[in-house]
Amino acid sequence: MRSTSLRTGSRRRTLAAASALLALAPVATAQTTSMPALRLNQVGFETTGPKAATLVDTRTTPLPWTISDASGWVVLTGETTVVGQDPTSGDHAHVLRFEALRTAGAYSLSAGDHTRRIQIADTPFATLKRDALVFFYENRSGIPIEAAHVARPDLARPAGHAPDRATCLSGTDTRGNVWPGCDYTLDVSGGWYDAGDHGKYVVNGGISTWTLLNAWERASLRGLADPYPDGAADIPESGNGVSDLLDEARWEVEFLMRMQVPVGARLQVPVGLFTRDQPLTFTEIDAGGLVHHKVHDVKWTGLPMAPADDPEARFLYAPNTAATLNMVAVAAQAARLWRTIDPAFAERALTAARRGLAAAKRHPNLYAVGDFNGGGNYGDDALDDELYWATAELFVTTGDPALLDDLRASPFFLSAPTAGPRPTGDIGWNSVGALGTIALAQAADRLPEAEREAARQSLITTARAYLADAQGQGYGHPFTGPDYSWGSNGNLMNRAMVLGLAHDFTGEAGFRNGVTAALDYLLGRNPLDQSYVTGHGDRPMRNPHHRFWAHSADPAYPAPPAGVLSGGPNNTAMSDPVAETMRGQCLPQTCWRDDIAAFTQNEVAINWNAPFVWVTAFLSPT
């Protein structure tokens, strides 16, 4: 999986760009004529929460709507608000709002000669929350997925890559660079498979684990119930007295620490940033404490493929600064969360984090370079955001004043995606600066109150910008485009996380409503009338790009479990065989197909399901 983040300058879309998008509208409309014109969250609405739907209708005046109960009695009426033409969907949209309906039950919503059933409940997302987390157990490496812990027997499978022992790649990459290898082997068993393949990538594992741990820490700091108390997710560790959320995250934390280079090891690695076509040169360094970028097969395997059947040799790929700082951030975070739960593990994590930060400072310019078969590259040309994030997490854990000095010297200090001294850009695996600010904003006793409040205000300002993005567009979610990138649904969930934090800091209902609007979009309030989540909604996603959940490719393999989030619409990196046929033929929000071959649009990944867990836990705190 090789995703990119939503572009932060989206609200500066020019009139020319909007006109170019609208020129594609007839094509997009032709693709969607069989879909219901009334689009809404297909799972349900909270009794006391916001309630909105979108009606696609070319009429330019408000239209009446009604809501009837199960007996046919009309319980609420109203008129649509005309939004008009939406450039990224091609739809002429009306919006319906029915917050006044606050009685749980099943209803029918009718507007413009169209009717949809709706469900209102006190906690409509509780099952969704559980399923979103179970995704991680079912993507574990190095352990059997047991029938006792999955919803269907066919989802059980033998352990893949158990053990997962690998040495460094020695040989030629696809650009002709000859990598010298190393003289050691690491046991890097465990962790999660990243996406549709069997690779394990530190920079994607880092942000994913951090997000899960932050969901737990946020609830703890606010005095809320554990969103996943022991036994809630029915994983093998259930019954050990520890939150299932922490147990699941620990499976990856342990893997990240296993990727650390042994003390005293010397490696030949590229130092500095190389252009794509520039031959690499290798320099010998003391690599002890650095972290390998990834481990994966020497070449791409076919699809479908159960992990235990993988025939390919696996290798470690060179350590670099970004991977090291990802491990540092997560290990530091884990060290404080497990301090009273498992002191020995907490101390081991803190030791790994300190070693890693020292190594990253010793080698600040090691990049993910080269191009390899069998796995994604996850290259990142900017490393100062990772340094800020890792330093912030270690400072929150230790209170070391020297780390605070380093933080204050960072250009990202107290910045958020759209606000602060140097805005960080939308949160993503290669844009993690905002995570450092979140850690500082949530820590009650580390920063002077003025600086802590500045961190909060940066996040609140960003959240207001996201809400502004939702205004005046037909589907109400906090993103306007014009481009929807690889993993747009996961990126939308990252925006929703910032909105949730802004609600924590201010208590303003509008921020929480924005979180709900983002989830509404994923669950069907979108131009494709599509729930992008397996097992939930009237039209759930069914055919993810995944080597084991591959029933559509081979009936001997299982269909996916519930709670798996599709990457979503993507009109920027249309390189798979399905997307290639759509290039220039779809508007951004409609560039998606429920097809196992559509890896740029329908792959699944840990860094998309992680903020999905965060959001569903936020909306269903118990």
Give the active site residues.
197, 545, 594, 603
By the 10 Å C-beta count (0-12 exposed, 13-18 middle, 19+ buried), 256 is classed as buried
Tokens of 580: 């290639």
DSSP H helices in 164-311: 202-221, 244-258
Question: Hey, CA dihedral for 546, 547, 549, 551, is it positive or negative?
Answer: positive
Report CA Rg, the chain: 24
Distance between CA 119 and CA 43 in Å, rounded? 7
Residue 136 neighbours by CB under 8 Å, 6+ apart: 192, 212, 248, 251, 252, 606, 609
Q: How many other CB atoms are found less than 10 A from the CB of residue 275?
A: 7
Distance between CA 234 and CA 313 in Å, rounded? 33
Whether the CB-CB separation of 548 and 306 falls below 8 Å is answered with yes
Distance between CA 403 and CA 179 in Å, rounded? 35
Whether the CB-CB separation of 267 and 291 falls below 8 Å is answered with no
Distance between CA 103 and CA 126 in Å, rounded? 18
Distance between CA 44 and CA 140 in Å, rounded? 30
How far, rounded to the nearest angstrom, does the alpha carbon of residue 329 sit from its chain's CA centroid? 17
Three-class SS state of 384:
helix
Whether the CB-CB separation of 481 and 589 falls below 8 Å is answered with yes
β-strands 314-320, 165-167 pairing: unpaired
Distance between CA 480 and CA 484 in Å, rounded? 9
Whether the CB-CB separation of 128 and 533 falls below 8 Å is answered with yes
Whether the CB-CB separation of 189 and 164 falls below 8 Å is answered with yes
Distance between CA 456 and CA 451 in Å, rounded? 9
DSSP 260: B
